[in-house]
Amino acid sequence: KFAEGQPLTHSEPARLVELPLNAQLDDVVGGLDERVTDSDRMRLRRGILSHADNNILFVDEINLLSDEIINAILDAAAAGTYTVRRGPLTATYRSRFILVGSMNPEEGNLRPQIMDRFGLRVIVRGLTDRQERLEAYRRVRAYRHNPRRTIAEYAPDTSLARDEIIHARNVLKQVDLPEDVARAGLDLIDALSIDSLRAEITLFEAARAYAAADNRTAATLDDLRIVAPMALRLRRSSFMTSYIQTQGNEEQEIHQALSSTISPPQDQP
């Protein structure tokens, strides 16, 4: 192909990679390939995190995952790569993915470490309109009866949404965040007493993305107003507020003790 001037690589559409709740650590990060152990050969197989590279990683009931799998996701999401070591074999895989998770708060809380990795947080409530609930039932029934027909029926809408996302991603590089919008966002975060720096990153990037989806090259205050609930909810921590206050009191006591026990340095002539 190189000699003929043909491209050696090609782009593939992003796909959804699901991490099942019963997945083991070797399934997530990778491990020894059992298919070749019988032939006196050793080879590592890729894990789910590696398959999720440049794709969307979806985790249902993410609050029920074990700590070791949560830690693996955290490391991979932070570095964009991870390394697997199994005996004498070592391999490093890329894992740059968009993390999407769902959970039922009644079944347990999500660890703060993994919660901080989610930029946008959405609270889903049940449908209240009777007609919408009936339509939801009809669609579920139609999909169970004939999945292919249902998918084909909504294919034009799916294709339109895909084209809009592709166009917005191309426009996003040109979208600017005006100074007045940035200052308004900082004032909002200060008013809510949010400490995490990811609040600004998520808020401003979400505002730019919303403007790009609307085919505009500058974010506005209206964009900020729309994305703020998703970007800023569930970011305040009563524990951290109490902890910082306690540390502030201790810091004040230390300075008072220093003033009463150690005299300040004398000015040199």
User: Which residues on neighbouring strands pair with residue 58, listed in sequence order?
Assistant: 18, 100
Distances (CA, A) of 30 to 39, 47, 184, 205: 20, 4, 45, 33
> Is-contact 99 73, C-beta < 8 A?
yes
Residue 13 CA, chain-centre distance (Å), reads 19
Q: What is the CA radius of gyration of the chain?
A: 25
Active site positions, annotated: 198
Kindly compute the dihedral angle of the four CA atoms of residues 187, 188, 190, 193, in this order, to the nearest 10 degrees: 170
DSSP-assigned letters across all residues of 19-53: E-TT--HHHHHEEE-HHHHTTT---EEE-HHHHTT
> Is-contact 90 83, C-beta < 8 A?
yes
Spell out a b/e string for 229-262, using b for 16 or more CB atoms within 10 Å of the CB, else e. ebbbeebebeeeeeeeeeeeeeeeeeeeeeeeee
